[in-house]
Every structure is written in structure tokens, then in C-alpha cells.
Amino acid sequence: MIEVQDWGLIEYNKAWAKQRELVSQIQSQRDKSVFVMCEHPTVITIGRAGGANNILMSKEMLSGLGVSCVEIDRGGDVTLHNPGQLVGYPIFNLSDYKEDLHWFLREIEEAIIEIVAHWGIKSDRVEGLTGVWVENKRKICAMGLHCSRWVTSHGFALNVSNNLFEFSYIIPCGITDKSVTSISHEVGNDVKIEDVKSVTADVFRKKFKK
């Protein structure tokens, strides 16, 4: 069974450092996988496919709002994390499952689809795009992974009750013709992130049983 850790609200760079420590441990032990759940203070992250042109405000303006920009080694473009968004980091040894990163991405998408269905939300994939969408036009979960020696890091960002206005600082994932949404926005009331964490932990434990 995977180990589940809850890091609470944690500054992004601190979480990234802790991820790297876990990756190193798992690469050495090769007999465990860890699923991390957390939230981050508002931060913009830029993946390997990202560019500053998808950030719509200057660094000075963002700094004045207390928002930093961090270039990271995951796949994907520009995204934003903020409180009320459930960030999941599956630090998994894929050699225990299937040495196929695309398979793993699809499995995470299936897990998210199952999770949001607990709140009566019907979601799906959009062909050619990574992540999970409502009505093929509103992104409820962004994803981006890194993999080294078949150990994964980074993961997904599921919007639960976070401030969606802050996504106006960027072009999320570089996609201009779609919007973002959250579980709370879709159901019309405030959903507690602790409830979503509980469901998410259960889904991941069942889906990735060894």
C-alpha cells in the first residue's frame, strides 16, 4: 500500500525540496511509493514547456501581490497554485506498477474523474490535452509530472475552494479558449478541502494497491 502524507499549507520551494528528498529515498529503497497532499500560498510555476509570455502581469506587479514565479522541471506550461487548491504529489516508483509515464498520467486523470464524481460533477479528458475538464471547456485539475529512474515527482492541482480570480494572472497551461473551475464553483457551495483530501487518499490507495 502507498504511504499517504499530508503536508498542510506549505511554501512551494520547501515542498519541492521535500519532494526531491523523497525521490532520492525511493530511488535508493525501490520498495515504496508516497502520495503527498498539500496546499501552497499563491505561486506561479513554469514547466519545461512554459514561457513568460503566458504570464500576464510583470514580476514587479506579482511581487507586490506576494506572488512568486518558480521555474521547475515538470512537464507542461504555466500554472498557478493557491490556498484551497488540493495539490497532489505522487512520488511513485513506476517499476512497481508499469514503466510508462503516459499510462501513469491517464491513471491519475481517471482518479481525479472518480474523485470529483463524489460531488456529482461529471468530468472527462479532452483529446490532446492533459488534465481533467468539465463539459470539455472548464479545467478543474491541471497535471504535470517529472520522472527520473522511473520515480515520479510533481503531480496534479485540483481546484477545490480556491480563488479562481487569481488565474487571471496567467494563461493557464497556455490554453486561451478554455476557462478554469473548481469543485465549489461547480456545486454552488463551499466544499471543505479536508473532505476532498479524505476521498482523494481513499481513491489513490485503492487505485494504486500493489
Q: What are phi and psi of 181, to 5 degrees?
A: -145, 180
Say what the pLDDT of residue 62 is: 87
Say what the pLDDT of residue 81 is: 96
Written as nine digits, the cell of 159 is 481546484
Q: What is the mean pLDDT of residues 124-148?
A: 92
Say what the pLDDT of residue 92 is: 96
Q: What is the mean pLDDT of residues 54-76?
A: 82
Of the chain, the percentage scoring pLDDT greater than 90 comes to: 68
Closest CA to 190 of 147, 159, 144, 153: 159
Pairing assessment for the beta strands 129-134 and 138-148 based on DSSP bridges: antiparallel
**Grid-cell match 463524489, residue found:** 118
> What does the alpha-carbon distance between residue 208 and residue 91 come to, in Å, rounded to a whole number?
12
Active site residue 173: yes
Q: What is the mean pLDDT of the chain?
A: 91
Q: What is the mean pLDDT of residues 101-119?
A: 97
- Tens-digit pLDDT profile for residues 137-176: 899 999 989 999 999 999 999 999 999 999 888 877 666 6
The answer to whether residue 122 scores a pLDDT higher than 90 is yes
Say what the pLDDT of residue 32 is: 84
pLDDT band at 75 (very low <50, low <70, confident <90, very high): low
Contacts of 140 (CB under 8 A, 6+ apart): 112, 116, 121, 123, 132, 133, 134, 158, 159, 180, 181, 182, 183, 186
Contacts of 128 (CB under 8 A, 6+ apart): none
The answer to whether residue 184 scores a pLDDT higher than 80 is yes
Instruction: Tell me which of 38, 69, 141, 173 is the catalytic residue.
Output: 173
Say what the pLDDT of residue 207 is: 95
Least confident window among 55-69, 72-86, 170-184, 192-206: 170-184
- Tens-digit pLDDT profile for residues 20-52: 999 999 998 767 899 999 999 999 988 776 667
- Tens-digit pLDDT profile for residues 4-25: 999 999 999 999 999 999 999 9
The answer to whether residue 87 scores a pLDDT higher than 80 is yes
pLDDT band at 63 (very low <50, low <70, confident <90, very high): confident
Of the chain, the percentage scoring pLDDT greater than 70 comes to: 95
Domains, the chain, ordered by start: 3-207 (3.30.930.10)
Structural contact between residues 92 and 156, judged by C-beta atoms closer than 8 angstroms: no
Distances (CA, A) of 194 to 41, 44, 183: 17, 23, 13
User: What is the per-residue DSSP string for 74-119?
Assistant: SSSSEEEE-TTEEEEEEE-BGGGT-S-HHHHHHHHHHHHHHHHHTT
Burial of 163 (0-12, 13-18, 19+ CB in 10 A): middle
Q: What is the mean pLDDT of residues 54-65?
A: 84
